[in-house]
């Protein structure tokens, strides 16, 4: 993969930070945007800005066509059976909450059980805690071993006829661990439970086929797949989405409204109340097209090479410990340095133009599991280069000398 050619498509990578060339290693938080995504946003606002659906004038019809084209692209991107199984949301968080507040309230009762894992993002913990508190249900947790992998034997023992839902992260945002989701899904289905996958980190790195893995719900965010913020996708099996109650009330999600009764709209509009995030949804299509045209296998090969290189270089630094050494990982390295707080490292790296993420990464229970306040996280994307990893390592050596 010609990394230099790809880098040129990302205008922000040309900027300087504190007099240094930007090295952007915070891709797990949000990825940078290629010019075609930026252009898609400005083109919509410049040429056919209008509200979608129902309008019969030219701009409204053009906007509607572009918006629905994005739905078809998202369907193909994750292998959904039909476009009506694609619900546009504000991101992974809203997708998970949508399922919790609709399917969850409808199907979970007192004494029922929901299983999550010990490496979940807060967005896949808190909605289920709220639901369990409201319904008198029980939240169970799959433990994480010292390598940052799920204890699958314990998971299987947690499943029972009381299990209504298993909701797990596909790829850990803190450790990079790729979880064995097909095995998780098959075991859950044998127990009669439904499965939701948090795909916020996996959608950008891995080939996703929701039909092949047979998950019931899958959520991901646009801004992590080189698209805009404020837009995401929730996939749900059609029969489940049709049986679930509505999430929000308002325009678009209705067929007919009287003061006596409202008839709700068909899928997917049933779950898209009000004027949606039209511009960002259209730009999301440009991002997904960019990934598909570049080729996920090529991207993955490049990122895996970066991961292996970074891991070897970082392990050679005295006092540095990598947190999360799963056999299956994406291009992310989380680490700590003895006697140095992660935030101090982050500040000093920023002074060298290097952007990393420090803290608990919205996974406080996972940090508690490892007995640490947080980590320094360097996460790599298709536009990163080995030379940037060299810059990180050099800056880490300087930082350690400065602080110790």
Count the residues in the chain.
404
Beta-strand ranges (E) seen in 102-249 are 113-117, 138-142, 163-169, 194-198, 217-221, 232-236
* DSSP track, 175-187: T-BB--HHHHHHH
The CA distance from 264 to 290, in Å, is 35
Taking the CA of residue 322 as centre, how many other CA atoms within 13 Å lie in the half-sphere pointing to its CB? 22
State the residue for tokens 């299990």.
163
Could you give the residue numbers annotated as active site?
Answer: 362
Strand order across the 375-379 sheet: 320-322, 332-337, 375-379, 357-359
Picking from 116, 173, 156, 151, the residue whose alpha carbon sits closest to that of residue 324 is 173
The CA distance from 214 to 197, in Å, is 11
3-state secondary structure of 297: helix
What are the backbone angles phi and psi of residue 106, rounded to the nearest 5°? -80, -30
Q: Residues near 93 by Cβ (< 8 Å), separated by ≥ 6?
A: 123, 221
The CA distance from 218 to 210, in Å, is 7
């Amino acid at each position: 993969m010609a990394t230099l050619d790809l880098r040129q498509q990302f205008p922000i990578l040309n900027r300087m930070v504190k007099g240094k060339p930007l090295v952007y290693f915070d891709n797990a938080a949000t990825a940078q945007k290629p010019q075609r995504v930026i252009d898609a946003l400005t083109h919509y606002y410049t040429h056919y800005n209008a509200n979608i659906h129902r309008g019969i004038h030219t701009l409204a019809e053009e906007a509607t066509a572009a918006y629905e084209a994005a739905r078809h692209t998202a369907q193909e991107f994750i292998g959904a059976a039909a476009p009506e199984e694609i619900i546009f949301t504000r991101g992974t968080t809203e997708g998970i909450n949508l399922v919790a507040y609709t399917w969850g309230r409808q199907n979970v009762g007192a004494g029922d059980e929901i299983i999550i894992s010990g490496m979940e993002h807060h967005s896949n913990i808190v909605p289920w805690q709220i639901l369990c508190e409201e319904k008198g249900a029980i939240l169970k947790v799959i433990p994480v071993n010292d390598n940052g992998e799920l204890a699958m034997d314990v998971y299987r023992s947690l499943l029972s006829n009381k299990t209504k839902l298993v909701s797990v992260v596909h790829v850990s945002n803190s450790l990079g661990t790729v979880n064995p989701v097909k095995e998780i899904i098959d075991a859950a289905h044998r127990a009669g439970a439904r499965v939701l996958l948090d795909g916020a980190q996996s959608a950008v790195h891995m080939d996703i086929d929701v039909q092949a893995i047979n998950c019931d719900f899958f959520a991901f965010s646009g801004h992590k797949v080189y698209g805009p913020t404020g837009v995401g996708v929730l996939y749900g099996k059609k029969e489940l989405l049709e049986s679930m109650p509505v999430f929000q009330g308002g325009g678009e999600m209705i067929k007919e409204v009287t003061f006596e009764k409202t008839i709700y709209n068909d899928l997917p509009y049933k779950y898209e109340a009000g004027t949606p995030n039209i511009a960002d949804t259209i730009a999301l299509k440009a991002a997904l097209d960019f990934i598909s045209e570049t080729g996920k296998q090529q991207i993955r090969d490049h990122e895996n090479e970066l991961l292996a290189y970074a891991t070897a270089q970082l392990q050679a630094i005295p006092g540095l410990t990598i947190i999360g050494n799963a056999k299956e990982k994406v291009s992310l390295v989380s680490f700590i340095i003895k006697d140095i707080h992660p935030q101090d490292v982050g500040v000093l790296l920023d002074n060298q133009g290097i952007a990393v993420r420090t803290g608990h990464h919205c996974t406080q229970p996972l940090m508690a599991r490892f007995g640490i306040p947080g980590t320094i996280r360097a996460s790599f994307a298709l536009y990163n280069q080995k030379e940037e990893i060299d810059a990180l390592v050099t800056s880490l050596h300087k930082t350690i000398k400065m602080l110790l």
